[in-house]
Structures are given as C-alpha cells and as structure tokens.
C-alpha cells in the first residue's frame, strides 16, 4: 500500500472561515496568501472550535487529495461507504492485460493481489488469480472477466475528502473492529498529512491493539 498526499487546503483558509463566524478577525493573524504557517492564537482557535466544540462546518473548508495505490477491491468497497468523499478508480482493463501475459502467477501474485498473511486465504486468492488468467487466455472479454476478479485484487485511486469527513473516517477506521486493511490505510493516511495539520486528527486515532 502506498499513500501520497497530492493537495491540501492551507490552514489559514479555515482560520478565516472560523473567524468570520465568531467575528474575531482582529484576534488572529493576517495572511495575505493561504498558508499553513499560522500564529499560535489561530492554532489554538482551530483546536478549540474543531476538536473541543466540534464545529464541523469550519472543518469542511479544508480538503485533502490522496493518491492511494495497492489496496484491495474489498478495501475499496469499504472506502466507498464514506459518502462525503470523492474517488476516481483505476480501470481494471490495464492490469487484466498485464495478468494475461504473466508466465508464473504464483511468483508474481503479490503484484496483483493483497496478501492477508493467512496461508489458507492467500492460497485461495492465488488460485482465484490463476483461474482469472485462464479466463483471459480463453479469449473472454475484460467486461466479463472482471466479474471473476477476487476481492483481494489490487487497485489504485485518487481520493478527495474534507477535514470533517476525514475526522469521522479516522475515528471509525482506526478502530480495532475495522477491517485490518482499511485500519492500516487509516494510519497511513494520518501519517501522510502535513505535520501542521495533524493536531486536527490526533484525537481521532485509536492506537490500541
């Protein structure tokens, strides 16, 4: 799994939105251009209204765009359940074309599927991958072959989400009860955030287990 942050809204945008609500512009800094380098008074202001008082509408002014590679289709389904996020997913036809030309599936299986670490599950996943290749070699079209793709099959996507929805996502998906793969994703997303933004999400992370 690889996570890369492609874009984020600077914190000063949220400061401006929050200060507008509370008519407290004179208590904050002056930011001619959007920036993450906000003064301590504004950092404390965001911490108070977003973390302590949960004024989520202000958090919606901050957005993030991530490039996510190497997650399973099963994890993608879990990701898609978060309504306040937008995703654009890699077409499967490109990897199906690559899979068709592989000579030894077992040797390259980890290129195409997410391994669970459970030997029994992984053996079944590799078998499913081999069966998928057999279908492709038989001449079946990709539009039909994709219905035989195992849930562990890897994909990639661009994922955009605002800070309010990301707080909710991290609270739910960093839990021990979450699917192990999406829990790993939650921690990877947190680590990919700019260090100046992490104070908005630290209380959302469940580090137990």
Q: Cite the active site residues.
A: 173
Q: Is 206 labeled as ligand-binding?
A: no
Distance CA 90, CA 33 (A): 35
Q: Is 51 labeled as ligand-binding?
A: no
Q: Is 12 labeled as ligand-binding?
A: no
Q: In the numeric block, which tokens belong to residue 113? A: 């599927």
Q: Is 136 labeled as ligand-binding?
A: no
Q: In the numeric block, which tokens belong to residue 60? A: 């919606």
Q: Is 8 labeled as ligand-binding?
A: no
Q: Is 83 labeled as ligand-binding?
A: yes
Q: Is 4 labeled as ligand-binding?
A: no
| Bridge partners, residue 7, by sequence | 65
Q: Is 27 labeled as ligand-binding?
A: no
Contact by Cβ (8 Å): 35, 12: yes
Three-state DSSP at 41 gives helix
Q: In the numeric block, which tokens belong to residue 195? A: 């260090």
Q: Is 158 labeled as ligand-binding?
A: no
Distance CA 185, CA 191 (A): 10
Q: Is 120 labeled as ligand-binding?
A: no
Q: In the numeric block, which tokens belong to residue 186? A: 């939650």
Q: Is 57 labeled as ligand-binding?
A: yes
Contact by Cβ (8 Å): 17, 80: no
Distance CA 160, CA 28 (A): 29
Distance CA 180, CA 205 (A): 15
Q: Is 162 labeled as ligand-binding?
A: yes
Distance CA 42, CA 38 (A): 6
Residues making up the annotated binding site are 57, 78-83, 91-93, 146, 162-164, 168, 173
Q: Which residues are annotated as a binding site for dUMP?
A: 78-81, 91-93, 146, 173
Binding site listing for FAD: 57, 81-83, 162-164, 168
């Amino acid at each position: 799994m690889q996570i890369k942050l492609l874009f984020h809204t600077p914190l000063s945008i949220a400061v401006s939105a929050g200060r507008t609500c509370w008519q407290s512009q004179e208590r904050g800094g002056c930011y001619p251009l959007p920036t993450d380098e906000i003064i301590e008074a504004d950092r404390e202001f965001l911490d108070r209204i977003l973390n302590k008082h949960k004024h989520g509408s202000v958090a919606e002014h901050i957005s993030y765009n991530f490039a996510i590679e190497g997650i399973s289709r099963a994890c993608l389904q879990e990701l898609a359940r978060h309504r306040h996020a937008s995703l654009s997913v890699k077409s499967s036809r490109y990897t199906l074309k690559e899979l068709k030309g592989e000579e030894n599936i077992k040797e390259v299986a980890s290129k195409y599927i997410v391994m669970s670490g459970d030997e029994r599950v992984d053996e079944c996943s590799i078998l499913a991958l081999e069966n998928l290749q057999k279908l492709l070699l038989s001449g079946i079209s990709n539009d039909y072959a994709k219905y035989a793709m195992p849930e562990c099959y890897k994909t990639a996507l661009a994922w955009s989400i605002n800070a309010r929805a990301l707080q909710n996502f991290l609270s739910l998906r960093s839990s021990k009860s979450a699917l192990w793969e999406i829990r790993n994703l939650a921690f990877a997303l947190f680590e990919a955030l700019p260090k100046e933004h992490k104070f908005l999400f630290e209380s959302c992370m469940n580090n137990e287990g």
